[in-house]
Chain A
């Protein structure tokens, strides 16, 4: 139990579907992150939220839309995805944005068909 919970664990969606990934952290952290993990590539940072404000968007296509309603919850809304978006999407949190130790959720394995 890492204190960061992601749902669903697995998701298969068509290119015309709209779905959302959910992340919840029970650690009292102020910063939350979305990462994309593809095979044979380093973890790619997508979005950073600090105190519910988006502080970083790493040139992520608009078909990915994050939402942070409070410091414990983070969503990633998906629409009109492409097959190359299939990957493991990881949520992480840290005490503050500059804090080094990030704790990860178990990830959502996304397959776009």
Chain B
């Protein structure tokens, strides 16, 4: 079945550092999404990508839709303590009723 791979499971960085996460698949996806989930909350959509090669920013966050359509990257610049949480990638293939497939998520910790 379709799977999205996110690794490592956890990342630890120092406040102020930049961090990059990627999401890969053996299948082609036509849409990539990045969500963040805070403890005890539901996932919140950060960035949506719709075209191969697309690079989109949202404040300190930048995400790219890989050229092969099998991967996506999320970069967070100048991290701050409130960036802690779980970052999920999600992808959707073609088809009007295709489902979103989620990765397992990466837990980000930011040391002050």
Please tell me if B99 contacts chain A, counting CB pairs below 8 Å.
Answer: yes
A45 contacts B45, C-beta separation under 8 Å:
no
Please tell me if A43 contacts chain B, counting CB pairs below 8 Å.
Answer: yes
Q: How many residues of A contact B (CB 8 A)?
A: 24
Q: B residues within 8 A CB of A2?
A: 42, 44
Q: Which of A4, A41, A55 lies in contact with B42, CB distance below 8 A?
A: A4
The CA-CA distance from A3 to B97 in the complex, in Å, is 23
The CA-CA distance from A106 to B44 in the complex, in Å, is 9
| Residues of B contacting A: mostly | loop
| Residues of A contacting B: mostly | loop
Q: Which of A6, A45, A90, A105 lies in contact with B99, CB distance below 8 A?
A: A45
Please tell me if B102 contacts chain A, counting CB pairs below 8 Å.
Answer: yes
Summed over the interface, the residue pairs from A and B with CB atoms below 8 Å come to a total of 54
- Interface residues in chain B, defined as those with a beta carbon under 8 Å from any beta carbon in chain A: 4, 9, 31, 33, 35, 40-45, 48, 50, 88, 92, 95-105
Please tell me if A100 contacts chain B, counting CB pairs below 8 Å.
Answer: yes
Give A43's nearest chain B residue, CB to CB: B102
| Min C-beta distance of A20 to chain B, whole Å | 18
| Min C-beta distance of A55 to chain B, whole Å | 7
B104 contacts A104, C-beta separation under 8 Å:
no
B31 contacts A106, C-beta separation under 8 Å:
no
The CA-CA distance from A53 to B112 in the complex, in Å, is 49
- Interface residues in chain A, defined as those with a beta carbon under 8 Å from any beta carbon in chain B: 2, 4, 6, 40-43, 45, 48, 55-56, 90, 92, 97-98, 100-107, 109
Q: B residues within 8 A CB of A45?
A: 99-100
Write 7 A-B pairs (CB below 8 A) sorted by A numbering. Answer: A42-B101, A42-B104, A42-B105, A48-B99, A98-B96, A100-B48, A101-B48
